[in-house]
């Protein structure tokens, strides 16, 4: 049972209880004091429910200490962007960045995964924090929503991130190489028109990017203009 249905069922039960108590008060002659008590219970339940919903909404709208937003917010943000883009006739991209498992296993064995994850967060915050929210997903993946962006915009972002990741003065990179990142993206409305489908296609794109020579996969578009990404082995 999803959250909305569970909450609806709770409210149906509470209202049914109150009507039942009202009928009982009428039949037994308990009168107004009993009804006041019953509706006081219902009012208290409403207040606590509203407070819990507000607290949950505020918590989900807040980034953690690193400035990264939690994955549960992603669906809601994509749905909001779909509504805006549909209204104004714009496209947008769901862009994912992840640590490449193969490179981690064979080229970065001596590096600490949490340290590389933190470097990736720093790189994303440096390039996009002022424009887009960054969402943390499972399996060392990060997701961004890029408004009014198509394949060319995504390619430009990948180029900027790669340049920054290879900058010897950039603190968000391993001291002896570049970050082993892979990139995937899908697009509204050309590839998908619902939030869940966009996320699924973006995850498929990131999985295909792990096998691509240039470590980039754009859903339904070509990315051959990008050179193969470097790893410690290629950088040495």
Q: 160: Cβ–Cβ under 8 A, 6 or more apart, which residues?
A: 127
CATH number at residue 226: 3.30.70.270
State in Å, rounded, how far the first CA of the chain is from the last one: 53
Mode of pairing for the β-strands spanning 134-137 and 141-147: antiparallel
Give SS3 for 70. Answer: strand
- Residue pair 215/182 in contact (Cβ under 8 Å)? The answer is yes
Q: Are residues 89 and 194 in the same domain?
A: yes
Alpha-carbon span 107 to 235, nearest angstrom: 10
Alpha-carbon span 147 to 138, nearest angstrom: 23
Q: How many residues are there in the chain?
A: 236
Q: Are residues 123 and 210 in the same domain?
A: yes
Q: Are residues 117 and 216 in the same domain?
A: yes
Residue 235's pLDDT band, with cuts at 50, 70 and 90, is very low
> What mean pLDDT comes out for the span 39-56?
52
Give SS3 for 179. Answer: coil
Instruction: Please write the tens of the pLDDT for every residue from 126-177.
Output: 887 666 789 999 878 999 999 999 999 999 999 988 888 777 667 666 655 6
Residue in this structure with the two tokens 């949950």, named with its chain if needed: 56
**CA count, 13 A, side-chain hemisphere, 18:** 18
Q: Are residues 93 and 184 in the same domain?
A: yes
Instruction: Please write the tens of the pLDDT for every residue from 64-109.
Output: 556 789 888 899 999 999 999 999 999 999 999 998 876 566 555 5
Domain range for 24 is 3-60
Claim: this prediction has a pTM higher than 0.85: no
Q: Are residues 120 and 229 in the same domain?
A: yes
């Amino acid at each position: 049972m999803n959250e909305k249905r569970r909450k609806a069922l709770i409210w149906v039960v509470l209202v049914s209880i109150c009507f039942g108590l009202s009928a009982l008060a009428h039949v037994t002659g308990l009168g107004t004091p009993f009804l006041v008590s019953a509706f006081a219970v219902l009012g208290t339940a409403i207040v606590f429910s509203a407070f819990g919903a507000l607290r949950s909404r505020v918590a989900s709208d807040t980034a953690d200490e690193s400035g990264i937003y939690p994955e549960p917010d992603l669906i809601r943000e994509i749905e909001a962007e779909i509504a805006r883009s549909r209204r104004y006739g714009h496209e947008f991209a769901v862009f994912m960045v992840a640590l490449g498992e193969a490179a981690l296993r064979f080229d970065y064995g001596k590096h600490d995964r949490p340290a590389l994850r933190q470097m990736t967060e720093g790189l994303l915050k440096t390039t996009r924090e002022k424009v887009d929210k960054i969402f943390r997903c499972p399996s060392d993946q990060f997701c961004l929503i890029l408004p009014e962006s198509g394949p060319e915009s995504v390619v430009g972002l990948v180029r900027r991130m790669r340049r920054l990741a290879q900058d010897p003065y950039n603190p968000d990179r391993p001291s002896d190489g570049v970050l082993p990142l892979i990139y995937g993206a899908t697009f509204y409305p050309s590839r998908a028109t619902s939030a869940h489908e966009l996320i699924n296609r973006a995850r498929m794109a990131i999985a295909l990017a792990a096998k691509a020579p240039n470590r980039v996969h754009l859903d339904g578009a070509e990315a051959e203009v990008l050179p193969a990404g470097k790893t410690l082995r290629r950088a040495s």
